[in-house]
Amino acid sequence: MRTRIRVLAPLAMAVALTAACGESGSSGSDEGGSGGGTASGEACVPIEGDQLVVLEDDMELQNADNVIPAVNAATAASNPALLPALDAISAALTTDDLIALNAAVDVERQSADEVAAGWVEESGVTEGLEQGSGAIVVGGGNFTESTVLATIYADVLTAAGFDASVQEVGNRELYLQALKSGQIQVFPEYLSTVTEFLEDDENSEIASGDVDATVAALQPLAEANGLVFGEPSEAADQNAFAVTTAFADELGVSTLSELADACGDGSLILGGPAECPERPFCQPGLEETYGLEFDSFRELDAGGPLTKAAIQQGEISVGLVFSSDGALAQD
């Protein structure tokens, strides 16, 4: 189970039910969305298919949870080659890479060590790295993506002259404390999630879908906690909404705005965790930001096998997934 807190927290506690929950209602708002509806309700019914595709969040409803290296500030200051090596990874890592890495471990059953080493070799990120020295412990979470990223970090740091190793750590409360104290020196983090975690005011949300603005908001929080952060990668693991490629191709849509244009008549069936109808980043956000309306909501799980199966089997039109899920890997 993933340890990081997501914007739909507590996702891990979402009730995995398979029965439809009936009508969920709609805001009926067209603010920020296209609305209109150019296709009939019949044209917008779910279409089954094995391949899933994420519709682009072109109006930045979701917070930017790009992968970003977190480093103990004292360690970074005494090891000038450290951040450049990690930034080289960020410059090369994409969301498609994350999807492929997750699929290689979770679907193809390769080892995290093997998958990480393959990415490092193919990416060429170790070429021309400034050389450092000394022991560096990279922390990793207890889920596939974090383990693979931590191993990539360690492999690249080893190529940069460091004696790097990976240590699995617990939840964010534990590993950030270990990072601050120097028990571990590096951790692959997620931009918006760590920004909100470090923000003391629980009623103030300073992260957003704007990567640069969120990085700017993170910097003073990092300094106050004895941390520094490298450059954010293009790779992001955040809430996303998927349909079958057959559905997307039939309607000619690749973004959520285009989906609202094509199916603005309230004929869509949405699937996701129990809290989706109340969470601003789920159904209310889709309604208010994009002007989408839904015929009904089906209570499933949080980006897990129930939601993905319901999309594939044509039981729902669109479902909440995670943008780097290995199930999104193209055949």
Q: What CA–CA distance (Å, rounded) separates 211 from 54?
A: 19
Query: Could you say which DSSP state residue 142 is in?
Result: S
Which of these three, 182, 204, 229, is where a domain ends?
229
Q: Flag whether pLDDT at 21 surpasses 50.
A: no
CATH code for the domain in which residue 78 is found: 3.10.105.10
CA dihedral 323, 257, 291, 279 (to 10 degrees): 10
Are residue 33 and residue 72 in the same domain, yes or no? no
Are residue 72 and residue 58 in the same domain, yes or no? no
Check residue 77 and give its pLDDT: 98
Residue 168 belongs to a domain:
yes
How many structural domains comprise the chain? 2
The token duo for 73 is: 């500030």
The token duo for 170 is: 């617990």
Are residue 77 and residue 170 in the same domain, yes or no? yes
Are residue 120 and residue 194 in the same domain, yes or no? yes
Q: What CA–CA distance (Å, rounded) separates 204 from 186?
A: 27
CA proximity to 14, closest of 275, 314, 320: 275
Q: What CA–CA distance (Å, rounded) separates 211 from 206?
A: 11
Residue 4 belongs to a domain:
no
Are residue 43 and residue 57 in the same domain, yes or no? yes
Interval 221-235: pLDDT, tens: 999 999 999 999 999
Query: Could you say which DSSP state residue 67 is in?
Result: E
Indicate the pairing of strand 135-140 with strand 227-229. unpaired
Check residue 330 and give its pLDDT: 83
> 61, 289 in Cβ contact below 8 A?
yes
Check residue 92 and give its pLDDT: 98
Residue 6 belongs to a domain:
no
pTM over 0.75: yes
Interval 34-64: pLDDT, tens: 333 445 457 789 999 999 999 999 999 999 9
Which of these three, 171, 203, 229, is where a domain ends?
229
Phi, psi at 51, each rounded to 5° = -90, 130
Interval 91-143: pLDDT, tens: 999 999 999 999 999 999 999 999 999 999 999 999 999 999 999 999 999 89
Residue 204: is it exposed, middle or buried by C-beta count within 10 angstroms (0-12/13-18/19+)? exposed
Residue 123 belongs to a domain:
yes
Q: What CA–CA distance (Å, rounded) separates 61 from 105?
A: 30
Residue 3 belongs to a domain:
no
- Tell me which of 174 and 14 has the higher pLDDT: 174
**pLDDT mean over 18-37:** 35
Interval 232-273: pLDDT, tens: 999 999 999 999 999 999 999 999 999 999 997 788 999 999
Are residue 92 and residue 163 in the same domain, yes or no? yes
Residue 261 belongs to a domain:
yes
Cα angle 82, 141, 154; round to 5: 30
Q: What CA–CA distance (Å, rounded) separates 317 from 262?
A: 13
The token duo for 308 is: 């993905």
Check residue 329 and give its pLDDT: 93
Report helix, strand or coil for 235.
Answer: coil
- Exposure string of 151-180, with b = 16+ CB inside 10 Å and e = fewer, is bbbbbbbbbbbbebebeebeebeebbebbb
Check residue 264 and give its pLDDT: 77
Residue 5 belongs to a domain:
no
Check residue 35 and give its pLDDT: 38
Place of tokens 């909404």: 241
Residue 128 belongs to a domain:
yes
Are residue 163 and residue 264 in the same domain, yes or no? no
Check residue 205 and give its pLDDT: 82
Are residue 172 and residue 250 in the same domain, yes or no? no
Are residue 58 and residue 71 in the same domain, yes or no? no
Q: Flag whether pLDDT at 89 surpasses 50.
A: yes
Is residue 308 within a helix (H) or strand (E), and if so which, with residue range?
Answer: helix 305-312
Report helix, strand or coil for 269.
Answer: strand
> 284, 31 in Cβ contact below 8 A?
no
Interval 286-330: pLDDT, tens: 999 999 999 999 999 999 999 999 999 999 999 999 999 999 998
Are residue 99 and residue 206 in the same domain, yes or no? yes
Which of these three, 229, 258, 290, is where a domain ends?
229
**In sequence order, what are the beta bridge partners of 239?**
322
Q: What CA–CA distance (Å, rounded) separates 270 from 284?
A: 12
> 82, 88 in Cβ contact below 8 A?
no
Are residue 82 and residue 148 in the same domain, yes or no? yes
Are residue 135 and residue 211 in the same domain, yes or no? yes
CATH code for the domain in which residue 321 is found: 3.40.190.120
What is the pLDDT confidence band of residue 203, given thresholds at 50, 70 and 90? Answer: low
- Exposure string of 75-98, with b = 16+ CB inside 10 Å and e = fewer, is bbeebebbbebbbbbbebbebebb
Is residue 88 within a helix (H) or strand (E), and if so which, with residue range?
Answer: helix 82-92
Q: Flag whether pLDDT at 1 surpasses 60.
A: no
Chain centroid to Cα 251, Å, comes to 26
Report helix, strand or coil for 297.
Answer: strand
What domain range includes position 93?
67-229
